[in-house]
Amino acid sequence: MKKTIVLFVLLSATHLALAQDKAKRLDSLMTELHQAKSFNGNILVAEKGNIIYQKSFGLANEKSNKKLDLKTTFELASLSKQFTAMGIVQLEKEGKLSYDDKMSKYIPELASYEGITIKNLLTHTGGLPDYMEFMSKEWDKSKIATNIDVITTFSKLKPAALFKPNENWDYSNTGYVLLATIIERVSGKTFGDYLKAKVFKPLGMKNTFVYRRRFKPEKKNNSADGYVYSDSLKKKITPDEVADAFYVIYLDGIVGDGMVNSNLEDLLKWDRALYTDKLVSQKDKDLIFSSYKTTAGKETEYGFGWVPEQNPVYGKIVSHSGGWAGFVNYIERHLDNDKTVILLQNNDTEETKIPKKNIRKILYNQPIEKPFILDLAIQKLYAGKYVSDKGKEDEILFEEGLFMPLNADVKLKLIPISKTKFVVDGFSPEVTFEFILNPNGTVLKYRVQQPEKGVDREAKRIN
C-alpha cells in the first residue's frame, strides 16, 4: 500500500512539473507574439479538461483602454458553424428532419437548385456560390441584410451553382446561412433562441449568445470590440469606422455562418460536453467529426462544422478557425489525447497570428519552430500577375509583405517559411505557395498546394 501511495505521489508530481513547464513555454510564446503585435486576445489550453494555461493579452476597447479579461466575450465568426451543425444534428436525432432531405423541402424559394441536401450544406458539397461575394455586387448597402434577404436575392437572381451536389467541395458560408434558416423553420424558434434553449442553457454556457451588434444593438457587459488596420489612417479602427458600405456592416443581420458570441469559460464547457452524450450520442459525434467524400471519392476533410485531421504525430484532431469584423478565432480538440486549444482575438491585422503549430509542439514536449525572416526586397520580386492553365488571372501584391487578394475586401497574407516557399496565414488545412525560379533568378511561376483538399496547381508569371 505504501509503495502504491509513493508511486502515485511521484506520478502526480511529475505530471504537475510537466504541466508547469508547458505553461511556462506557452506563456513565453504568447508574450512574444503579443509584444510583436501578433496576438491580442485570450488563450486557454487544457489537458483532459484541466486548464494548464489561460491568459488575456491586450485591450478589449482601444478608446477606453479597457483591458481584456478571461471572461470577455468575443464574436466567434465561423466557429459559429459548429453550433449551427449541432442544431441540425439535434433536429435529425428528434426525427424532425433527415440529412438526406432536399434543401428545397424547407426552403422552397430555392427549388431551382436541384438535388442539394441538408448533408451537402453541412459538408460544403452543395455547390452554392458564396453569398458574401454575390451580395457585395447586388445588395443595397444602405440596408442590413438578413437570412431571408439572402434567400430572396438568390431566388430572384438565381446565380449559377459552382458544381453539381457532391461533385466537389467548396467552403460555403451560404450553406450555413440556409442551415440556420432550416433550424428556424423546423423548430419554430429564432436561431438564437433555439441554440439558447437546446445548447447553451443545458451546458451552463451563460456567456454565449447570438448577437448582431449592428442589426440589433444591445448593451453587452464585458464584450470585446473587433479591430482592423486602416492603411490610410495608419492605425487600428473598428469596422464601423471604415465606411457604412463595409461588408461586415451590411451583412450583420445574417446568422448561421457566424454571429455566435462566447468566451473561454463557455467554450471549454462546450468542449467537455462533446466528450459526453449530453447533447447527442457517440454515433452522432462520429458523423460530426468525420470527413466526407465527393462522388469521385476525394476526401473533403470537412465534417459537420468541424475540420477533422488524422495527424501521424498527434492523432485525431478536429478544429475550426474563424475571422470576421476584426475577430480572429481558433479552436482545436485532440480527440485521441484529450487536449484543447482555444484562441480568441479581437485584432485582425497583417501581423495577427494563429500559432497553432507551436502550441501543438509545446503540448507534446517538442521544440518550437522559430519564424523564418525573408528580406522584403526578395519578397517584392514575387509580386506580379499570374495566369493558370485555365486562363484565370491572379495577382500577388506587395505591401511590405506578400498578399493574395481573395476578393475586393479580403487579402490573404503569405508568410515565408523559406526563400521561395510561403504559407497562407490562418488557413487550416495549410495552404502553401512556392515560387519557381529559372537559373538567373527570374520568377517563372508559382505552385499552390493544399494536399488535404487535393489542391495542386500552377500559375505562370505574365508581368
Residues tagged active-site = 78
Q: DSSP letter at 373?
A: P
**Of 68, 171, 64, 191, the residue nearest 128 (C-alpha):** 171
374: which residues sit within 8 A by CB, 6+ positions away?
416, 419
- For residue 394, the cross-strand partners are 386
**Would strands 315-324 and 307-311 be described as parallel, antiparallel, or unpaired?**
antiparallel
With contact defined as beta carbons under 8 Å apart, do 356 and 428 qualify?
A: yes
Q: DSSP letter at 240?
A: G
Cβ density class 146-181: b for 16+ within 10 Å, e for less = bbebbbebbeeeebebeeebbebbbebbbbbbbbbb
- What are 8's three cell numbers? 502515485
HSE (side-chain half, CA atoms, 13 Å) at 119: 15
Cα 300 to Cα 128: distance, rounded to the nearest angstrom:
16
Cis peptide before 202 (omega within 30 of 0): no
Cα 332 to Cα 315: distance, rounded to the nearest angstrom:
12
With contact defined as beta carbons under 8 Å apart, do 4 and 12 qualify?
A: no
CA distances for 264 relative to 196, 287, 347, 406, angstroms: 17, 26, 17, 30
What type of residue is 380?
K
CA distances for 404 relative to 189, 245, 412, 443, 449, angstroms: 41, 23, 5, 16, 14
What CA dihedral angle connects 171, 43, 210 and 196, to 10 degrees? 110
With contact defined as beta carbons under 8 Å apart, do 222 and 60 qualify?
A: yes
- What are 157's three cell numbers? 437572381
Helix (H) or strand (E) holding 434, with range, is strand 432-437
- What are 53's three cell numbers? 494555461
Instruction: Specify the residue for cell string 430572384.
Output: 156
